[in-house]
Structure 1
Amino acid sequence: MEKLSYQDVNHHVIDRCKSGDNRAQYELYKLYSKAMFNVSMRITNDYAEAEDVLQEAFVSAFKNLHSYKAEASFGSWLKKIVVNAAINAIRKRRSELVPMDERVVGEVADEVCEDDSEWQVAKVRRAIQQLPDGYRVVLSLYLLEGYDHAEIGEVLGITESTSKSQYSRAKKKLLEIMKEPQFVV
C-alpha cells in the first residue's frame, strides 16, 4: 500500500470538503485552527476577538473553497483569509494609523540585549501586546507573518511608505515600552 504525502492527504481532505463532507471540514479545521488562531491573535491582540475572527475566516474559507486553485498551499490561502478577517475586525474598532513619519529606527533585536532569551521573548511579546492597533498590525504582518511593505499597504489600504513608517514607529514605541521602569513581563 502506497503511503500518501501530507500534501496528498491535504488535497484529499479539501476535495471532500468541496463535496460537502462535514467531517472533512472538521479535519481541515483541526489541521489549521491553532496556527490560524495564532495569526489572528497577533493581529487583534484580543482572545475573544481572535476566536471570532478564526470562526469567521473558516466559514468564509468553506464557502469559497471552490475558488481555491492549489496555486499556493492551502495554509497560505487560508492565512490570507484570516489576516483579512483580523484586519477587518481591527477596522471595526475604528482604529486609525498614526500619521507618517520617516524616521529610521534600528531593529528591536539589535537594540535590546539580554542574556536570558526566553525571558526576552516573553518581554517582547508582552510589549507587542501593548502597542496601539495600527503599530501592532503592521509590525505583526511584517515581522511575524512575512508580508512586505507593498503587500501590507495593499491589505490595509495604505501606501507602502506609510507601512514603512508605521513599522519604524512601531519598533521605536516597542523599545520605549520595553525600557519603561514599570514594564513587567
Structure 2
Amino acid sequence: METLEYTDVNAHIVARCKEGDRKAQYELYKLYSKSMFNVSMRITNDYTEAEDVLQESFLSAFRELHTFKGDSTFGSWLKRIVINKSITKVRGRRLQVEPMEDHQDFADEGPDPAQEDMDYKVESIKKAIQSLPDGYRVVLTLYLLEGYDHGEIAEILSISEATSKSQYSRARKKLLSLMQEQMFLS
C-alpha cells in the first residue's frame, strides 16, 4: 500500500511569514482567526477573554514562528497555542475541579414555545455547556470538540489521566442533567 505525503496547503504563506512578510501574516490571520476565536471562546466562555487570547496567540505564533518545524499543519500548531493560552486565562480565574455533589441552580428563561427546531437545540446545548463549571467545561471541550485524548488533556492541564476521565464523565452527567432539566422546564 502506497503512503501519501501530506503537505500543508498554507506552507507557502508560512514561509513568507518566516521571511517577515506582513501581508502573509495578515493572510494567516484571516484564514485562522475565526476558528481560533471559537476554540478560545469554548474554553474561556468569555468574549473579551477570547479576543485577548486570540491576539496574544497570533503575536506569540508570529514571534515564535522560527520554532515551527512543519511536522504538523500551521493550523494545528496555532490551535495548540490558543488552547494553552485559553487554559492559562481560565486558570487565572482559578480553574477548579468540582465534585459531583456540588450542585448549582441554573436559571432558565424558558424557550419560545414556537421555536423547537435544530437551531434551538444547538443553542440549548451551547448554553448548557457554558453553564458547566470551568473544570468540567474545559475537559469536555478539549475531548469532544477539540479531539484531544485523555492523555493529552492530562498533559495540557497538568492533571492525571484518571482525573481527566472522571472530569469528562462528570461533565457528561452534569450536561445531561442540565439538558433534562431544561427540557422539563420548557
TM, length-normalised to structure 2: 0.83
CA RMSD of aligned residues (A): 2.2
Say whether the 8 Å CA contact 2:97–2:135 is kept in structure 1. Answer: yes
Structure 1 segments unaligned to the other structure (5+ residues): 1-5, 102-114
Corresponding residue number in structure 2 for 1:15:
15
Deviations 1:125-154 (A, max 9, x none): 110011111100000000000000000000
CA 1:163/1:100 → structure 2, altered by over 3 Å: closer, same or farther? Answer: farther
Corresponding residue number in structure 1 for 2:138:
137
Deviation of residue 120 (structure 1)? 2.1
CA 1:93/1:24 → structure 2, altered by over 3 Å: closer, same or farther? Answer: same
Letter in 2 for 1:128: I
Letter in 2 for 1:139: L
Deviation of residue 183 (structure 1)? 8.1
Deviation of residue 182 (structure 1)? 8.6
Matches within 5 A, 1:7-156: 7-8=8-9, 10-99=10-99, 116-156=117-157
Measured in 1, the distance between the counterparts of 2:64 and 2:51 equals 20
Deviation of residue 118 (structure 1)? 3.4
Moved more, 26-35 or 120-129: 120-129
Measured in 2, the distance between the counterparts of 1:73 and 1:22 equals 20
Corresponding residue number in structure 1 for 2:109:
none
Measured in 1, the distance between the counterparts of 2:8 and 2:147 equals 22
Deviation of residue 117 (structure 1)? 3.6
Deviation of residue 32 (structure 1)? 0.4
Say whether the 8 Å CA contact 1:97–1:166 is kept in structure 2. Answer: yes
CA 1:118/1:63 → structure 2, altered by over 3 Å: closer, same or farther? Answer: same
Corresponding residue number in structure 2 for 1:3:
none
Say whether the 8 Å CA contact 2:8–2:74 is kept in structure 1. Answer: no
Say whether the 8 Å CA contact 1:84–1:155 is kept in structure 2. Answer: yes
Identity in percent: 63
CA 1:184/1:138 → structure 2, altered by over 3 Å: closer, same or farther? Answer: farther
Structure 2 segments unaligned to the other structure (5+ residues): 1-6, 102-115
